[in-house]
C-alpha cells in the first residue's frame, strides 16, 4: 500500500495515511469542503465553531448549527482517525496537519 506522510508546521512526520483512507475521506463532498477550508486557513489551529462559520459563510442555505453538528459527530472524527487533524472535543479546537497525498487528490477532484 502507498502511504503518505502527515507532517506538522516544522515538517516533522506525525504519522502516515494510506491512499485508500484518503479516497474514503474525500468521497464525501462536505468533507472535501472541510479539508479544503482547513488547508486554506492561515493557522494550524481553529475552533470548531469558527470552522463551521467559514463553511456556512458562502452557502446561506446551510445553517452554522448543521455544520457544527456534522463537524463534531462525523467529519472531524473521521479526519482525526487518519491523523490529518487532532480534535479536542471538550474545547472544540482542531489542529490541522499537512498531507501532500490528500492535497494532491483534492486538487485532482476539485480543481480551482
| Number of neighbouring beta carbons within 10 Å of residue 91 | 9
Range of the domain at 24: 3-109
Question: What pLDDT digit, counting tens, does each position of 17-33 carry?
Answer: 888 999 999 999 999 99
Question: What pLDDT digit, counting tens, does each position of 48-74 carry?
Answer: 999 999 999 866 667 888 999 999 999
> What domain count does the chain have?
1
Read off the pLDDT of each residue in 93-100 and give the average, rounded to a whole number. 93
Any idea what the CATH number is for the domain that residue 24 is in?
Answer: 1.10.10
Question: How much of the chain, in percent, has pLDDT values that exceed 70?
Answer: 94
Q: Residue 4: beta bridge partners?
A: 17
Residue 109 pLDDT grade (very low, low, confident, very high; cuts 50, 70, 90): confident
Q: Residue 3: beta bridge partners?
A: 18
Read off the pLDDT of each residue in 35-54 and give the average, rounded to a whole number. 94
Question: Considering the entire predicted model, what is its pTM?
Answer: 0.88
Amino acid at each position: 500500500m502507498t502511504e503518505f506522510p502527515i507532517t506538522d508546521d516544522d515538517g516533522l512526520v506525525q504519522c502516515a495515511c494510506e491512499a485508500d483512507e484518503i479516497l474514503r475521506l474525500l468521497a464525501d463532498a462536505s468533507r472535501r469542503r472541510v479539508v479544503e477550508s482547513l488547508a486554506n486557513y492561515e493557522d494550524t489551529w481553529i475552533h470548531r465553531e469558527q470552522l463551521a462559520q467559514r463553511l456556512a459563510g458562502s452557502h446561506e442555505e446551510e445553517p452554522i448549527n448543521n455544520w457544527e453538528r456534522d463537524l463534531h459527530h462525523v467529519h472531524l472524527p473521521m479526519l482525526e482517525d487518519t491523523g490529518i487533524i487532532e480534535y479536542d472535543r471538550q474545547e472544540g479546537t482542531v489542529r490541522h496537519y499537512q498531507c501532500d497525498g490528500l492535497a494532491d487528490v483534492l486538487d485532482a477532484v476539485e480543481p480551482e
